[in-house]
A and B are shown apart, each in its own frame.
Chain A
Amino acid sequence: MGETVLSLEGITKVYPGVVALKDFSLDFRQGEVHAILGENGAGKSTLIKIVAGAVEPNAGFIKIGDQSFARLSPQQARSLGIEVIYQEFNLMPSLSAAENICYGQKTGRFASQRAMERKAKALFDEFEVAIDPRALVRNLPASQQQIVEIAKAVSRSARILIMDEPTAPLSIAEVEHLFKLIRKFRELGTTIIYISHRIDELFAISDRVTVMRDGRFVATRETESTTRPELINLMVGRELKEAYPERTRAPGETVLELRGVTGNGDSDISFELRSGEILGLAGLVGAGRTELAKVIVGAARLESGRMLIDGRPVSIRSPREALSHGIGLIPENRKEEGCFLEMDIGWNISFASLRNISIGPIVGRKKEKALATGYRDLMRIKAPTLEQKVKLLSGGNQQKVVLSKTLAAKSRILIFDEPTRGIDVGTRQDIYRLMDDLTREGISILMISSDMEELLGMSDRIVVIAEGRVAGTLEREGFSQRAVLELASGGSYKETA
């Protein structure tokens, strides 16, 4: 292991009323992958921002090499070789991959398209990915955008690369690929600060893990010599019970049946969802799972095939009709498609069921209040009042608001797209418990997930989609990571037959 390249000494950052970081000290060594673990609100983002120069600490020092800083400007951080890949990409969608990578860098006196493309091509070759340097970023799938983002950072000869939840938009196979890249950088001596909610990943990629809680340093462990339960305990400061609720109930009658559903890039999809069942929908990102969800709720056109609810054929041409048949979608992009960020909690919860709480054209304020209060208590939404704007809630609580909204509309069939993406461990447990409770009341859940653990832990059955087709179905006894991966990557898994 190399020498120390970056050390934080007694960093404290106070926001009005909140201590985000308290006397935080940590050393990063050259050529290590250093994972930072902590629940949402543990101070990880603030830490990154301070290292990147986006936020000024109130106290403490940042030492880089033999220089010591009380604060950094973004330009300073960059010139010292610190690059950050944030959760939200900082790419320009209307520019090409090559232009994004070279943005703000000199490639000669004038910007030369050819030089930029050559540079981008060289980087992509090095990463062994086939991305057209001329492709516009907005036309690239999320996973390739991620690689463009990484290439951008690398091309600036980063010495310290900070990655915030880099695997969130990636599928299982792409994660493997990313890890290969990370290992390559490590060999070149780059220090990687890696932030993720997915504990399994940390074991796969990191050399050391630092756990944070409530803005404080808790512990640093050599990854080799720690265990998952130990990390979880350090992180939450309390013993967690079973990660997933035990699924014992036998599913009932078929409530939703797809027969040869084709449209939105998927073809000939057939499966059944039973009452009280959690049916996992596995597959690589881009396999067509979210696209299928859109077809089912009528947000995208059904080209051919049929859908049956309770054995009766239905025609669903809009999300409105889907809701009237009791099918509700909880989208993967909470902020863009799920909630109304500028509106308050009560407003959000009642939004999909306004007519049920209205007397004629007028919204019944008392009924609305009762509805919202009921769901707040049921879902354990943590907020001082129902008048709190949803944008001020944590991701987990926002998810609970969207779930409440969908349930309030009397949905019996929930399509849950990536139910816990970007949600911290504690709240995940809440969501899992809620999903289990709901199915006990006869609600059926179609769960799209790219989180392997979650798929295997929560599903009663798993349907694997590959390239827009059903690649196979797994019963609970046949669940294994290998089976899902094989099917998802287009292989055939023998034991399914």
Chain B
Amino acid sequence: MKQLKRYAIILVLFGLIALFSALSPYFFTQQNLTNIFVQQSYVIIAAVGLSFVMISGGMDLSIGYQISAVGVTTAALVKWAGLPFPTSLAIGMAMGVFLGAFNGWASITLKVHTLIVTLGTMTIFQGLSYIISRQSVILNLPPAFKFFGQGFLFDFLPFSVVLMAVSVGIGSFILNFTWVGRQIYGVGSNEEAARLSGVNVKAIRMLVFSICGFFVALSAIVLFGRSGSASSSTGPGVEFTAMTAAILGGVSFKGGEGKMWGLVTGVLILGVLSNGMQLVGLNTYVQYIVKGFVLLLAVGFDLLQKEGLAKGALRVSAKQAA
């Protein structure tokens, strides 16, 4: 029963899959399911980055414009500056890490909640992105760039999905198995206790934002590669999708909590919902309403199950004590 509650979010995902399979003959096909993964891969990669920040007790609202800035910069370097793609890619990724580190540095220096800090940097990154792109669309990205969003390994494995899996794997490994991961959870769970236990909280804050910047930059390459062209208006909005997915998947707003599988499930629920509703013929605005309700339900359910678990544990300890 306890296990059932814990993994309820996965049941919700399967429930939705079953529902849409019944409603539309096109839903449960290999083609469509692959599509969902390909469509959602960049969101998952960005959400992996965001989850580092959220688990440490922070929030990053700037990732949408980080994607935009990194994407157009990489494209501009390839198309306008004529740099080879690998060099541009490296600079783009480095820029992502730098923008993330800037968020970390600003939040440490200003001692303000990261929500406020990234609200400010979001606007900075927006300006940066539009200046770099000169408000134009950079068309015809080179095939190597497009490969990140459209390519296949061995003719059947979408490269973006591979990148997604690797990102989830790396994120999972750092958070679950390393002492740095423990310290990240510690800072999110109780910052002062972590500091008194010898954690360099500032270093952790720099680290989580830099890691976030790295994954966000990768997400940008995948997203821009998929569309094949680069414009500054691509990217914004991802922060809210990623945040919604993270919360759906059980990453706590207060920090110190959250697992990668939950996050992936959260993104997939949103992906299945929008894909399924599209196939059933519901328009975009109805989709927004449904997604909003799903989030509210998930949060409500999360609270319920936590209370349930706490009660269960109390019962157990009372029995042991008796």
Contacts and interface: CB of A to CB of B under 8 A. Distances in A.
B178 A351 contact: no
B252 to A, nearest CB: 9
B313 A340 contact: no
At the interface, is chain B mostly helix, strand, loop or mixed?
helix
Contacts of B177: 362-363
Interface string B297-322: 00000000000001101111111110
A358 B180 CA distance: 10
A337 B199 contact: no
B178 A361 contact: yes
Most chain A Cβ neighbours within 10 Å, of B177, B182, B311: B182
A17 B198 contact: no
A165 B230 CA distance: 64
B1 to A, nearest CB: 14
A355 B178 CA distance: 10
B179 A363 contact: yes
A343 B189 contact: yes
B57 to A, nearest CB: 12
Interface in A350-369: 351-352, 354-355, 358, 361-363
Contacts of A358: 178-179
Contact of A352 (B189, B197, B320): B197
Nearest to B181: A363
A334 to B, nearest CB: 9
A355 B199 CA distance: 11
Contacts of B192: 336-337
A337 B193 contact: yes
A383 interface: yes
B197 A351 contact: yes
Interface in A293-338: 297, 299, 318-320, 322-324, 329, 331, 336-338
Nearest to B316: A384
A172 interface: no
A323 B195 CA distance: 11
Contacts of B319: 17
A339 interface: yes
Nearest to A402: B193
A320 B200 contact: yes
A322 B183 CA distance: 18
Interface in A363-417: 363, 382-384, 388-389, 392, 405-406, 409
Given A297-B196, A329-B196, A340 B256 contact: yes
B315 A17 contact: yes
A331 B190 CA distance: 13
Contacts of A347: 182
A467 to B, nearest CB: 26
Contacts of B315: 16-17
Interface residues of B, number: 32
Contacts of A388: 313, 317
B313 A389 contact: yes
Contacts of A16: 311, 314-315
B33 to A, nearest CB: 34
A331 B193 CA distance: 9
A341 interface: yes
B190 A336 contact: yes
A339 B192 CA distance: 9
Nearest to B311: A16
A392 B313 contact: yes
B111 to A, nearest CB: 15
Contacts of A250: none
A323 B199 CA distance: 10
A319 B193 contact: no
Contact of B200 (A318, A336, A339): A318
Contacts of B104: none
Interface string B17-33: 00000000000000000
Given A384-B317, A392-B310, A363 B193 contact: no
B198 A319 contact: yes
Contacts of A406: 197
A322 to B, nearest CB: 8
Contacts of A342: 189, 256-257
Nearest to A294: B196
Nearest to A334: B193
B158 interface: no
Interface string B159-201: 0000000000000000001111011011001101111111110
B197 A319 contact: yes
A292 B116 CA distance: 33
A361 B180 contact: yes
19 contacts: A299-B195, A336-B193, A337-B192, A339-B190, A339-B193, A340-B186, A340-B189, A340-B194, A341-B189, A343-B186, A347-B182, A351-B194, A358-B178, A362-B179, A363-B179, A384-B316, A392-B317, A405-B197, A409-B198
Given A319-B196, A337-B196, A351-B194, 9 more contacts: A17-B319, A319-B195, A337-B190, A338-B196, A340-B194, A351-B197, A354-B183, A363-B177, A389-B313
Instruction: List 4 tightest A-B contacts by C-beta distance, closest first.
Output: A354-B179, A352-B197, A323-B198, A384-B320
